[in-house]
Structure 1
Amino acid sequence: MMKRVTKKVGKYEIGRTIGEGTFAKVKIAKDTETGEAVAVKVLAKTTILKHKMVDQIKREISIMKIVRHPNIVRLHEVLSSHTKIYIILEFVSGGELFDRIVHKQKLSEKDARGYFQQLIDAVSHCHSKGVYHRDLKPENLLLDAEERLKVSDFGLSALSQEGVELLYTTCGTPNYIAPEVLRKRGYDGAAADIWSCGVILYVLLTGYLPFEESDLPTLYKKVSAAEFSYPLWFPSGAKSLIDKILDPNPKTRIRIDGIRKHPWFQMNYISISQGEECDVCLDDVRAVFEDIEDQYVMEKSEEKIAPLTMNAFEMITLSQGLNLSALFDRRQVVYLTHYRIM
C-alpha cells in the first residue's frame, strides 16, 4: 500500500477541506510544533488578480492582525507559494451562532445575553482600534468548543483614516444594515455596527428578524423608520435596550458605553473588553503580496473586470420593484441573512 503524502505549508500539515466558497477553500491543518489544530484559508493568486481583490484581501488580513481579542477569530500568520496564499487562522470548532439559532429556534434570555455581552466586548475592541466590521450577523459569529463567541469575516470591514470621520461605502446584509448606511450621505461606522448588534440581539431572543420583507424597497422603508414589533413574551429589559439601539437617528442611538451600563446588559456581566496591546507587524503581509504587486498593476491597466465589491448595491436598488422572495426560504425567515450587499 502506498503511503499517503501529507501536504505541508510552512510548519502546518494540511488536512481535509472543511469549507468552500466562490473564491477560497478552508482546510483544517495541524501546527507540527504545537500539535494545535488551525484553519487554513487558501486563495489562488490568479483568482485574486482576476477579480481585482488584492487591496481587499490585504486590508482584511491587516485588520485581523490589528484586532486581537478573545472574542475575535485570531489570525496567526500569512504564507504563500508560487500560486496560492495561505491565511492561517484559529480553528473554531463549534460552528456558526446562526446554526444554533436555527436549531433551537430561539435562545434563552440568559444565553442570548451572554453571547450579546461577548459581541459587544469584541465590537468595542474593534472600534478602539479604528476598525468597523460592517457585516455583523449570526453567520459571522462562531462558537468555540467552550461556547465562547468569536467574531469572524472582516471582508467588508473598514479601517478609519486620520481626518476622515464618515464612511461612504454601502455594504452589508440588508436586514442588518443601519438606516443611515442606506441614505448614502456618509455614516459613522461605530453607530452602524451598534445597530447591527441590536438586530442580532432581537434574532437571538426571537429566532426571526425584526425587519423582514421579500422586496428591498419595502424592507428599506421599514428599516429607515425602525418599523418592527415585539412578541408579547419578549423580555422587558431586553426590549428597553433594543429600543435604544434600533434608534433610526445615529446621533441619538445608544453607544457602547451606554449599552454596558444598561441594567439588562449588566446582569452576570464579566468584562473581557481589553484585547491584546502589542506592536502589529505587517511585514509578512507585505511579503506575501510583494510578488504579485507588479502583475496586479499590469492587470489593472488591461481589461475592465468589475471588482468583487463594486456596485452590487446600486444594481439592486435601481430595480425598485425587485422581488427577492425566490432567494429566501420563507419557512425559516432568519435565512434572509444569507444575502449580502458588497
Structure 2
Amino acid sequence: ILDSLPENFQSLNFVQRNKILSSLSPDGNYKTLAPLVKKKFGAIKKRKSNASQYLSSKKTGSSSAKTKENVDSKGAIVLAHKLDRIIGYGSWGVVRECHLVKDPQIIRAVKIISTLYPSVKRRFKREIRIWSRLNHKRILPLLYVHETEDAIFCITPRIYGGTLYDVVSHWGPYDTYNSSFPIRKRLRIIRLFCFEILDGLSYMHYNGIVHGDLKLENCLVDEVQDKEDKSKTYNHILITDFGMSGFYLKPKVKQNSIVSVRSFFSNKSYSESKLSSHLSSSNQNMRKRSNEKANGLNEPYCDIILMNNSINNFMTPIRFSDNKYNKEISSGNENQGNLPHSHIGSLPYASPEILSDNPPPLGPIADIWAFGVLLYTMIVGQLPFNSNFEPKLREKIKKAEIDEKSLKQACFYDQGLLAIVKGCLTKDITKRWDLNMITEKLK
C-alpha cells in the first residue's frame, strides 16, 4: 500500500494526503495508515521554514508588491490571464478559474501541474503532445500551454455542467423513482450522449489515437446557450484527460461513421433541445447544491467524491502518478513500445485482455470496452464490475460477467442499448463490437 503512494505525496497538503490515505486504507480511515506513513517518510515538513521565508522576503524586497507572473497563486498573471479561485485539484496540482486580463468577462480554466518530480512532468508533457493535436467539437480544447521550471499551465474553456459522473449520481439507480427523469427520458438522453461520445472517440481512432481512460469522470457536460433564446441552455459532451492516451497503428474507423445527432432526434417525440434543456435545468440544481457545500465537486478536472453507494468507490491506484482515480504506471514513451500494463487507466473500466498475463498492445478495442462500462453505468446507475478488494475486482473483470438481469430491466424500453452494452462488454476481442457496429445499432 505504501509503495502505491504518489511520488509527490509529501508535498501535498493535509486534506489531499488524508483523502489518499482514506482511499487506500482497508477500513477507509486515514488514521489507520498514518503511523506507517509517518514511519516511512518521517514528519512531513513545511515546504519553507520561517527562516527561509524571511530570507526570501529580504531578497525580493519591494518586488513582493508587484504582480506575480507564471506562478500558482491567486492574482498571478499567466498567458495574459489572471488566476482566480481553485475549482478542482488532484495529486498532480490544481485547476483554477481565470479570466483574460484585457477582458475580465472572458472566463476560462487553467490546469496547473506541479513538475517537481520528473515522472509527473514526463507524463503531462506526453499528454499535452497528444492533446494539442486534437481539434474536434466533442473534445475539450487546449487553448494555451506554458511551462516553467516548477509547473505546466494548460488553459481551457471553463465548463460549468460538471461531468457525466455528476449526472449519473443525480439520476441514481434505475429503479429509484425520480419524477424529473422517468426511465424512458433517461434512456433517450443516454442515446444523445452516446452519439456525442462516439463522435469524439471516432475522431481520435481515425487519427490513430486511443483514449485509454474513457470513463464518466472524463466526459464533461458543456452547457451551451441557445443563440436565439438566451434563456435556454443545452448540454453537450466534451471528452477530456488524455494522460493515458497513446498512438496505435493502422486506424480503421471511418471518420464519417457517426450520424448527425440532430438528424437522429428530428423525428422523435423528444427533441434534442428539449432533452438537453431539461437536463440543463437539472444541472443547475446540482450546481446550486454544490455551491452551497462550497466543495467544487462539479467543476472540471476535480477528484470526484462519491455521493452514494450506487457507484462503487473502488479507485485505489495500482501505482500513482496523477490522482487517486487513475491506475497508472508511469510511461516515458508515447509510442507502441510501452509495456501494456502501463495502459491501465481506471481499473473498473479496464478490459479483460489488459489485465491478462500477456496483455496485447493498447488499441481501440480497449476504448470500446470502457465505453460499454460507461454505458452500463449510465443506464443501471452502478458499475458493472465493482469490489472493494482489488484482486476480486480484477477477477470479475477477467470473467466479464455482468448483472444482465438489472441491465435488461433498465433497458426494457430500449433493446438497442441492451445489445450495445453486451456487444461492447464481450470478452472475446474478435467478437467485440466496433464503433461502426455501435453506431449502426444506435441509428
The alignment's TM-score, normalised by the length of structure 2, stands at 0.55
Shift of 1:167: 6.7
Unmatched 5+ stretches in structure 1: 267-342
Greater gyration radius: 2
Q: Does 1:66 align with 2:133?
A: yes
Shift of 1:76: 0.5
Q: Does 1:229 align with 2:403?
A: yes
Shift of 1:133: 1.4
Shift of 1:234: 2.6
Shift of 1:177: 0.6
For 1:140 and 1:39, the matched residues in 2 are separated by 16
- The AA in structure 2 aligned to 1:115 is F
Q: Does 1:40 align with 2:107?
A: no
The change in CA–CA distance for 1:68 and 1:33 in structure 2 (over 3 A counts) is farther
Shift of 1:188: 4.4
The change in CA–CA distance for 1:220 and 1:83 in structure 2 (over 3 A counts) is closer
For 1:246 and 1:44, the matched residues in 2 are separated by 37
For 1:251 and 1:154, the matched residues in 2 are separated by 26
Residue 91 of structure 1 corresponds to: 158
For 1:26 and 1:100, the matched residues in 2 are separated by 21
Q: Does 1:212 align with 2:386?
A: yes
- The AA in structure 1 aligned to 2:409 is W
Shift of 1:53: 2.1
Q: Does 1:125 align with 2:192?
A: no
Paired positions, count: 259
Residue 26 of structure 1 corresponds to: 95
Secondary structure of 1:85's counterpart equals strand
- The AA in structure 2 aligned to 1:18 is I
Q: Does 1:171 align with 2:344?
A: yes
The alignment's TM-score, normalised by the length of structure 1, stands at 0.70
The higher-RCO structure (CA 8 Å, 6+ apart) is 1
Shift of 1:191: 0.2
Secondary structure of 2:138's counterpart equals coil
Residue 156 of structure 1 corresponds to: 244
Kept in 2, the 8 Å contact 1:167–1:186? The answer is: no
For 2:201 and 2:117, the matched residues in 1 are separated by 28
The change in CA–CA distance for 1:137 and 1:164 in structure 2 (over 3 A counts) is closer
Q: Does 1:255 align with 2:434?
A: yes
The change in CA–CA distance for 1:166 and 1:208 in structure 2 (over 3 A counts) is same
For 1:257 and 1:33, the matched residues in 2 are separated by 46
Shift of 1:33: 5.0
Kept in 2, the 8 Å contact 1:167–1:189? The answer is: no
The change in CA–CA distance for 1:188 and 1:252 in structure 2 (over 3 A counts) is farther
Kept in 2, the 8 Å contact 1:167–1:188? The answer is: no
For 1:61 and 1:175, the matched residues in 2 are separated by 25
| CA RMSD after TM alignment | 2.4
Kept in 2, the 8 Å contact 1:166–1:189? The answer is: no
- The AA in structure 2 aligned to 1:180 is E
Matches within 5 A, 1:331-342: none
Q: Percent identity?
A: 27
Secondary structure of 1:14's counterpart equals strand
Kept in 1, the 8 Å contact 2:138–2:237? The answer is: yes
Kept in 2, the 8 Å contact 1:166–1:186? The answer is: no
Moved more, 138-147 or 98-107: 98-107
Q: Deviations over 1:186-214 (max 9, x none)?
A: 14420000100011111111101111223
For 1:217 and 1:228, the matched residues in 2 are separated by 17
Residue 36 of structure 2 corresponds to: none
